[in-house]
Structure 1
């Protein structure tokens, strides 16, 4: 059967001497695997549309198993996400989350639209950490593991302060903290953002200024939910963490110079 479907390339793997196997996240057919013959060759008509993160219209034939790409038209190449190392790391993480965290029947139009909006946000210069944190929440929601953040999951109390129990699946009020000694403390700002992430569609994300400490709390909470409930081992996440450490080390001398300057005033 011949298919004509909009999709985003979330994985591109070399196959044989000149071919690539593409994994697409599509708007109507979930995740789809297709062979792009000759796509490794620079002059191939499929070489551009087979690039990671490319959003396009794909025409392919499939009876069972992998399809075969007949034609494709690029709608948005997202070339900036491939050219910038930091953006490539964040985009790769978002793409691998879709590939590894979701079953085919979970990868519907909603998450397709969220990934497209995530890539657009990264390409437009929105804070990459916040953008990917919001996308992580959309993945948790789709997979059925999003935290309950509005009431205490133990007693239903709506009053703060709260901690977040990953094991229990959401917030615990002060009276219930003892039920989980490993519950994570969160500031009011971090909790407010997590609640916003539960309600906010990626397509409505604007520019948000978030402190370094709040970002650390968001990362700790969301990573803990993934590690506890989904147990993923993502190469892109390991690389992203390595890149973060390198950037922090590079920024350290600048922070020291600023400190010396401030002390000398």
Structure 2
């Protein structure tokens, strides 16, 4: 059967001497694995459409698990992302997160739009860490891992000082704080940011100025929650950690 889709390349691997297998995250059918014959050859007409983060219109024939590309046209090449180490690192993280957390043919037009907007945001100079955190929240929500951010997960109190408990899956009020000694205290600003991430459409994201110490707290909180509830080991996240560690 022949399919015509709009998709973003979230994974690309060599296959044989001159071919590649790409994983497209598509608006219409979720993830789709497609063989791109001759993509590794310099003069191939398909070499550019098989590169990571490329957004394009793809036409492929599929009779089993893999499709075979017949035609493609680039919508957004995102070559600036591939040329910049930091942008490429964050884009790789969001791409790998999408690939690992979504099942085959698990379609979500909204998440597709969020990833497309996230890549555009990286390329236009918006805060890379903030974009990745918002995208994390979107994919958690789709996969059923959304943290409780509106009221205490224990007593449902919505007033007063709050802490964040990765173990219990959301915020704890001061009266219930003792139920998790590892819970992280939340300033009013940090809690507001987390709630914003849950509600924000990346397509409408403007410039957000977040203090470095707040961003560090956000990263620790988001990663603690991810490790507790999802637990996937992602190569791209390890690379981001190494960049932070060595000040790259």
Q: TM-score, normalised by structure 2?
A: 0.97
- Paired position in structure 1 for 2:114: 114
Contact 1:106–1:143 (CA<8 Å) still a contact in 2? no
CA 169–106 in structure 1, closer or farther in 2 if over 3 Å, else same: farther
Contact 1:106–1:142 (CA<8 Å) still a contact in 2? no
How many positions carry a matched residue from both structures? 248
Contact 1:20–1:37 (CA<8 Å) still a contact in 2? yes
Q: SS at 2:176's partner residue?
A: helix
- Paired position in structure 1 for 2:243: 243
Note the aligned Cα RMSD (angstroms). Answer: 1.0
- Paired position in structure 2 for 1:90: 90
- Paired position in structure 2 for 1:127: 127
Q: Deviations over 1:109-152 (max 9, x none)?
A: 11111100110000000010111111111111111111111111
CA distance in 1, matches of 2:134, 2:106: 18
CA distance in 1, matches of 2:182, 2:102: 27
Is it true that 1:12 corresponds to 2:19 in the alignment?
A: no
Q: TM-score, normalised by structure 1?
A: 0.91
Is it true that 1:217 corresponds to 2:198 in the alignment?
A: no
Q: SS at 2:50's partner residue?
A: coil
Question: How far did residue 104 of structure 1 move?
Answer: 2.7
Q: SS at 1:57's partner residue?
A: strand
CA distance in 2, matches of 1:32, 1:113: 17
CA distance in 1, matches of 2:161, 2:104: 39
Contact 2:87–2:128 (CA<8 Å) still a contact in 1? yes
Q: SS at 2:9's partner residue?
A: strand
- Paired position in structure 2 for 1:141: 141
CA distance in 2, matches of 1:179, 1:218: 22
Q: Deviations over 1:63-82 (max 9, x none)?
A: 12100000100000011110
CA distance in 2, matches of 1:167, 1:139: 19
Q: SS at 1:175's partner residue?
A: coil
CA distance in 2, matches of 1:64, 1:160: 56
Question: How far did residue 181 of structure 1 move?
Answer: 1.2
CA distance in 2, matches of 1:204, 1:225: 26
- Paired position in structure 2 for 1:232: 232
Q: Which runs of no fewer than 5 residues in structure 2 stay unpaired?
A: none
CA distance in 2, matches of 1:113, 1:18: 32
Contact 2:32–2:105 (CA<8 Å) still a contact in 1? no
Question: How far did residue 95 of structure 1 move?
Answer: 0.3
- Paired position in structure 1 for 2:187: 187
Q: Which runs of no fewer than 5 residues in structure 1 stay unpaired?
A: 251-265
